[in-house]
Amino acid sequence: MLDQILDYYKLQILDGSTDWWKKLVEMEKDIPGIRGNEIFDARIALCFKTHGVKKIYTRDADFKKYGFLKPI
């Protein structure tokens, strides 16, 4: 049933890579001090970046620090 919903609405499930933490180390050069719960946001942001997502609909102001994402 999930595959029918995905096909009907042209949805795609995004999945991060298994080596996302290596990209996190690189990201910390531009955004220093990523710690604690911010790691979860960073992982989401990296997943979006990998898949070419440029906008995110959120109330979480922490996503403003990722220059490749436009929070709406």
pLDDT value of residue 37: 87
- Token pair 């979860």 in the structure block, residue: 40
Instruction: Tell me what percent of the residues of the chain surpass a pLDDT of 90.
Output: 40
pLDDT value of residue 16: 81
C-alpha distance from residue 20 to each of 9, 10, 26, 46, 48 (Å) = 28, 26, 10, 7, 12
Rounded Cα–Cα distance for residues 65 and 5 (Å):
33
pLDDT in tens, 8-30: 998 888 888 888 888 888 888 88
The mean pLDDT value of the chain amounts to: 89
pLDDT value of residue 15: 85
Let me know: does 52 contact 12? Beta carbons within 8 Å: no
pLDDT value of residue 28: 83
Domain ranges across the chain: 2-71
62 membership: H or E segment, kind and range = none
